[in-house]
Chain A
Amino acid sequence: MSYAEAQKKSVLWDWLTTVDHKKIGIMYLAAGAFFFTIGGIMALLMRAQLMFPNSSLIPAQTFNEILTMHGTIMIFLAAMPLLFGFMNYIVPLQIGARDVAFPFLNSLGFWLFLFGGIFVNLSWFLGGAPDAGWTSYVPLASHYSGIGLDFFVLGLQISGLGTLIGGINFLVTIINMRAPGMSMMRMPLFTWNTFVASILILFAFPALTVGYLLLMMDRIFGSNFFVVEMGGNVVIWQHLFWIFGHPEVYILALPAFGIFSEIIPTFSKKRIFGYTAMVFATMLIGFYGFMVWAHHMFTVGLGPVANSVFAIATMAIAVPTGIKIFNWLLTMWGGRIKMTTAMLCAAMFIPTFVMGGVTGVMLAVSAADYQFHDTYFVVAHFHYVIVGATVLGLFGGAFYWWPRMFGYTLNEKLGKAFIILFLIGFHLTFFVQHFLGLYGMPRRVASYLPGQGWDGMNLVSSSGAIFMAAGFLLFIINIFVSMKNKETTGDPWDGRTLEWTIPSPTPEYNFAQTPLVRDYDAFWYEKYQGDGKIKAAEPLGDIHMPNGSILPIIISFGLFVMAFGLVYHTWIVAGAGLLIVFGAMFVRSVKEDHGYHIPVEEITKDKGGK
């Protein structure tokens, strides 16, 4: 394909076939935001049901389906894709690269995630959603649940494959595609956190793949992994799930930490405090993430030695996390803190996350966990952690990088109103849940009887949810209201890292010339030690770009078809789906595709605009 041909594609075809990391990032954000909204509506439905005791608004079965899908959607289809959106868009820009290492696989990863996500959600219309919780403990999930679990297990398998591909892509991108001069220890912290999170993805998702494989085998092919009468063991599932599931928590948290590590220095006008310590703390958290999973299983009956070992290992995570918190505080110390909305998110993250963190240590106390486990205390804890870190990180990142990604700045007043409303709602909703748990309220209950001392706090909790929803609405409104605030400088926040050296809107080749990095915080260094312009590592020339491809959609569609065949035990359909997959892979492997070049004249034309 030539440059001229590449320009001629229709908008729709362009987005369907794109391998541009920026467009894929935006698609991740859009799809993630869609699922986030759905998951949020489910949360509201649940809080509506639990607002009053003995409520019959939602039947118990439906409630179980909603609670399962809320967790599943929020973790797999909202939080991770939204983070992937930022990683995709920002990481190549931060390391001074034109694209990711595997543009084709990047696109494949996105479409796999989307088709998998759609597949899981189709269960609503085809016989009922999964109802065994996002953890889907067997045998409830294997032999006591309906067809929804088939959709669950296959859909998440497909989207998990996409995540794994994405993880490998980020790893190779970060290792191989850094601009000259950017050593590992000069990388921005968001990139570092993405790197460690990607390692976690690489090692955590295969365990989940095996877990889902076994569950699928039991449900669809009649194997006996979890059939006790045939010698199966149901604890195997819990191990496999949590070997994945605990690192997953850090897969969600680390990129958010990375976002805060960009926002806080930028708006404090100060270099991050203890960069090296931050990097090693990140790696340590990643390592511990794999060594503590059984703290989700304290009550399963592994025995006191196992419980003690995992309890102590879990407590140890508090140390590197504490290091990070103090480093953020000390970064702000002595700085000049400009309280933009992004910074407000980062500032509110610290107390919220610390509260989630300390309850985490409390949960690590194994003997006390016998009281906490599976109660609303746990619900409160992980919402403090996930909303406190991941969701605030996502919102902070959105306000911070919005001008970079969409060429306009979000309204600050509306933004602050949104975040304050959202946080008031959040603490109202979840703070009381700590006490609900200690007062004896188990989690995942479809309703509760009156007179158990829970009524008042559930009412408070449900009212809080309304504030959160109202806040989120303000955010959506902000997106549309702010469209007129065009951003043309490319560097609205006096940024420190390479992504702010690019003109706005971001050209498709990112950097006209590959930048030369001379220090950590490369842009800041040039601003205050150099002439404010980033040095180029190469002469201006034609830029090589990869061709788009429709094959990722076809491969994902093939797996989608295959999954249908498996759910309905129609092997011919499953076979046909597999044939589509291998056919498309065959085409990909046989067709050599060397991309096209953007001529230097086009690039100078763009540069003139700056």
Chain B
Amino acid sequence: MKYLWRLLPLSFILLMAGCGQQNLSALDPRGPVAEEQFSLIMLSLYIMIFVMVVVFSIYVFVLIRFRERPGDTHIPKQVHGNRTLEIVWTVIPILLLLALAVPNVMTTFTLADVEPTDDSLEVEVTAHQFWWEFEYPEYGIVAGQDMYIPTNTRININLEASDVIHSFWVPALAGKQDNVPGITNYMWFEAPEEGVYIGKCAELCGEAHWLMDFRVIAVDPDTFDTWASNMAAEDAGEMQEDAGEVAVQGREVFEQSCIQCHAVGDEGGNIGPNLTNFSEREVIAGFLEYDEDNENLRAFIRDSQSVKPGNGMDVAFPEDQISDEEMDALIEYLNGLSVLDEE
């Protein structure tokens, strides 16, 4: 018992000291929207801590002062109430709440203001079970899983969903909005610093809900322009100049088995994520590390259901469909798919 009591304050200190993982925590905001929300969180927290201090002080005092002592048998005075006191503890909370309500209403309207400005960038985010599609209508390009944005630019986001309800959340940049089928939702954020911000799906959307992560990659505007124009210019049929023979063979495998669902450049289906810049992904399928000998990628292509159960890629590619050799070629091809390191 004693040990426990010592553990409790210790864990509290640990909690307050850290703010969680960088670029994933709402307590470590990295952009104006998240900062504004953070300041609201702190404002409400201060008011609430004040309330708690008041209540807890009275509470502790009462419990100690008026506890039954041995031998005490007096009957306390049967008080009915006290008008003044009751008015006081009605009015003070109302004032406190007003202090919270006014800035909240202002922020709510600020965050809902999604009028495009001259230099704002529009991104259309469509959520699927269980991956993310980012369309840049001004550039005519579609990317999967990684959302590239220029720094210091207002990003206006339109949220849509293709199947069930999802929720688009990048804690370090902005609070979430839902991707609702049949409805378009709007939000905006801005990233002043370059960096990779982790995004999550926050609404229970099925079996692999917990693996529906994505990345927001903020790069300087020049790099973004390069990225976007290379994405747009990417011609599916044309292989990169330095592509080896193996990669060419891999492209054939891709055209045979993958292209119905996955697009590279302007060619291919859109049932699965667009793979144009596949090798520049932070992770595979939203969560898998790129390992030295590509075991993760290999396992995912062979039988994705065993790696990420419930995902939409419900075909397996055992060895009689894609031989080991073909698989190596395919991986070589995929790992060559990039848009940023072309120049």
Chain B, residues 63-93, CB within 8 Å of chain A (1/0): the string is 1001110001011111111100110011001
A-B contact pairs, 26 of them (CB 8 A): A64-B204, A64-B206, A228-B181, A228-B182, A270-B79, A271-B78, A276-B81, A300-B185, A303-B112, A311-B104, A318-B97, A323-B90, A336-B74, A337-B68, A339-B68, A358-B48, A361-B47, A367-B111, A368-B40, A368-B44, A370-B175, A444-B209, A445-B209, A445-B210, A447-B210, A452-B21
Q: How distant is B54 from chain A, measured CB to nearest CB, in Å?
A: 10
Residue of B at shortest CB range from A307?
Answer: B108
User: Is B75 within 8 A of A332, CB to CB?
Assistant: no
How far is B48's CA from A315's CA once the two chains are assembled, in angstroms? 12
User: Is B77 within 8 A of A334, CB to CB?
Assistant: yes
Q: Is B183 in contact with chain A by the CB < 8 A criterion?
A: yes
How far is B234's CA from A451's CA once the two chains are assembled, in angstroms? 35
Supposing A304-B108, A318-B97, A371-B26 touch, asked if A334 and B79 sit within 8 A by C-beta, the answer is: yes
How far is B6's CA from A294's CA once the two chains are assembled, in angstroms? 42
Contact of B93 among A60, A322, A427 (CB under 8 A): A322
B163-171, B224-232, B239-247, B320-328: which one contacts chain A?
B163-171
Supposing A61-B310, A271-B79 touch, asked if A439 and B20 sit within 8 A by C-beta, the answer is: yes
Q: Is A435 in contact with chain B by the CB < 8 A criterion?
A: yes
Q: How distant is B123 from chain A, measured CB to nearest CB, in Å?
A: 16
A186-194, A230-238, A587-595: which one contacts chain B?
A230-238
Chain B, residues 6-37, CB within 8 Å of chain A (1/0): the string is 00100100110011110011110000001011
How far is B92's CA from A319's CA once the two chains are assembled, in angstroms? 9
Chain B residues whose CB sits within 8 angstroms of the CB of A144 once the complex forms:
129, 163-164, 206
Q: Is B139 in contact with chain A by the CB < 8 A criterion?
A: no
Chain B residues whose CB sits within 8 angstroms of the CB of A374 once the complex forms:
167, 169, 176, 202-203
Residue of A at shortest CB range from B107?
Answer: A367
- With A338-B68, A370-B176, A440-B200 given, can you name 9 additional A-B contacts, CB distance below 8 Å? A60-B210, A269-B76, A301-B178, A332-B62, A336-B74, A347-B63, A362-B41, A440-B26, A452-B21
Chain A residues whose CB sits within 8 angstroms of the CB of B47 once the complex forms:
361
User: Is B108 within 8 A of A234, CB to CB?
Assistant: no
Q: Is B248 in contact with chain A by the CB < 8 A criterion?
A: no
User: Which residues of chain A have a CB within 8 Å of any CB of chain B?
Assistant: 59-61, 64, 131-133, 137, 139-140, 144, 228, 232-235, 268-271, 273-277, 299-301, 303-304, 307-308, 311-312, 315-316, 318-319, 322-323, 325-327, 329-330, 332-339, 347, 350-351, 354-355, 358-359, 361-362, 365-371, 373-375, 424, 427-428, 432, 435, 438-440, 442-449, 451-454, 456-457, 460, 528
Supposing A140-B206, A432-B15 touch, asked if A301 and B186 sit within 8 A by C-beta, the answer is: yes
Residues of B in contact with A, size category: 35 or more
Chain B residues whose CB sits within 8 angstroms of the CB of A368 once the complex forms:
37, 40-41, 44, 104, 107, 175
Q: Is B261 in contact with chain A by the CB < 8 A criterion?
A: no
Chain A residues whose CB sits within 8 angstroms of the CB of B19 once the complex forms:
439
Supposing A59-B309, A332-B66, A367-B37 touch, asked if A308 and B207 sit within 8 A by C-beta, the answer is: no
Chain B residues whose CB sits within 8 angstroms of the CB of A446 once the complex forms:
207, 209-210
Residue of B at shortest CB range from A446?
Answer: B210
User: Which residues of chain B have a CB within 8 Å of any CB of chain A?
Assistant: 4, 8, 11, 14-15, 18-21, 24-27, 34, 36-38, 40-41, 44-45, 47-48, 51-52, 55-56, 58-59, 62-63, 66-68, 72, 74-82, 85-86, 89-90, 93-94, 97, 100-101, 104-105, 107-112, 129, 159, 163-165, 167, 169, 171-172, 174-178, 180-183, 185-186, 198, 200-210, 213, 287, 309-310
Chain B residues whose CB sits within 8 angstroms of the CB of A367 once the complex forms:
36-37, 40, 104, 107-108, 110-111, 175
Chain A residues whose CB sits within 8 angstroms of the CB of B182 once the complex forms:
228, 232-234
User: Is B25 within 8 A of A453, CB to CB?
Assistant: yes
What are the 8 A-B residue pairs with the smallest beta carbon separation, nearest first?
A: A370-B175, A439-B20, A228-B182, A453-B21, A358-B48, A445-B210, A301-B185, A367-B107
User: Is A140 within 8 A of B165, CB to CB?
Assistant: yes
Chain A residues whose CB sits within 8 angstroms of the CB of B25 once the complex forms:
438-440, 453
User: Is A448 within 8 A of B210, CB to CB?
Assistant: yes
* Residue among A59, A301, A312, A427 with the highest chain B CB neighbour number at 10 A: A301
User: Is A336 within 8 A of B76, CB to CB?
Assistant: yes
Chain A residues whose CB sits within 8 angstroms of the CB of B68 once the complex forms:
336-339
Residue of B at shortest CB range from A435?
Answer: B15
* Residue among B97, B204, B205 with the highest chain A CB neighbour number at 10 A: B204
Chain B residues whose CB sits within 8 angstroms of the CB of A332 once the complex forms:
62-63, 66
Q: How distant is A317 from chain B, measured CB to nearest CB, in Å?
A: 10
User: Is B171 within 8 A of A371, CB to CB?
Assistant: yes
How far is B26's CA from A442's CA once the two chains are assembled, in angstroms? 12
User: Is A235 within 8 A of B104, CB to CB?
Assistant: no
How far is B27's CA from A373's CA once the two chains are assembled, in angstroms? 15
How far is B177's CA from A428's CA once the two chains are assembled, in angstroms? 31
Supposing A60-B207, A61-B309, A144-B164 touch, asked if A337 and B63 sit within 8 A by C-beta, the answer is: yes
How far is B202's CA from A132's CA once the two chains are assembled, in angstroms? 14
Chain B residues whose CB sits within 8 angstroms of the CB of A338 once the complex forms:
68
Q: How distant is A527 from chain B, measured CB to nearest CB, in Å?
A: 10
How far is B20's CA from A457's CA once the two chains are assembled, in angstroms? 11
Residue of B at shortest CB range from A62?
Answer: B207
Residue of A at shortest CB range from B159?
Answer: A301
Q: How distant is B79 from chain A, measured CB to nearest CB, in Å?
A: 6
User: Is B104 within 8 A of A140, CB to CB?
Assistant: no
How far is B4's CA from A446's CA once the two chains are assembled, in angstroms? 29
How far is B172's CA from A316's CA once the two chains are assembled, in angstroms? 30
How far is B279's CA from A164's CA once the two chains are assembled, in angstroms? 58
How far is B256's CA from A220's CA once the two chains are assembled, in angstroms? 40
How far is B180's CA from A315's CA once the two chains are assembled, in angstroms? 27
Chain A residues whose CB sits within 8 angstroms of the CB of B181 once the complex forms:
139, 228, 234
User: Is B80 within 8 A of A234, CB to CB?
Assistant: no
Contact of A312 among B105, B107, B200 (CB under 8 A): B105
Supposing A234-B182, A299-B178 touch, asked if A350 and B165 sit within 8 A by C-beta, the answer is: no
User: Is A299 within 8 A of B176, CB to CB?
Assistant: yes
User: Is B180 within 8 A of A304, CB to CB?
Assistant: no
Residue of A at shortest CB range from B213?
Answer: A449
Supposing A322-B93, A432-B15, A446-B210 touch, asked if A333 and B51 sit within 8 A by C-beta, the answer is: no
Chain A residues whose CB sits within 8 angstroms of the CB of B80 once the complex forms:
271, 273-275
User: Is B40 within 8 A of A60, CB to CB?
Assistant: no
Supposing A308-B108, A367-B40, A457-B15 touch, asked if A268 and B52 sit within 8 A by C-beta, the answer is: no
Supposing A311-B105, A350-B59, A365-B44 touch, asked if A137 and B165 sit within 8 A by C-beta, the answer is: yes
* Residue among B34, B55, B108 with the highest chain A CB neighbour number at 10 A: B108
User: Is A319 within 8 A of B21, CB to CB?
Assistant: no
How far is B183's CA from A534's CA once the two chains are assembled, in angstroms? 64
Residue of B at shortest CB range from A521?
Answer: B78
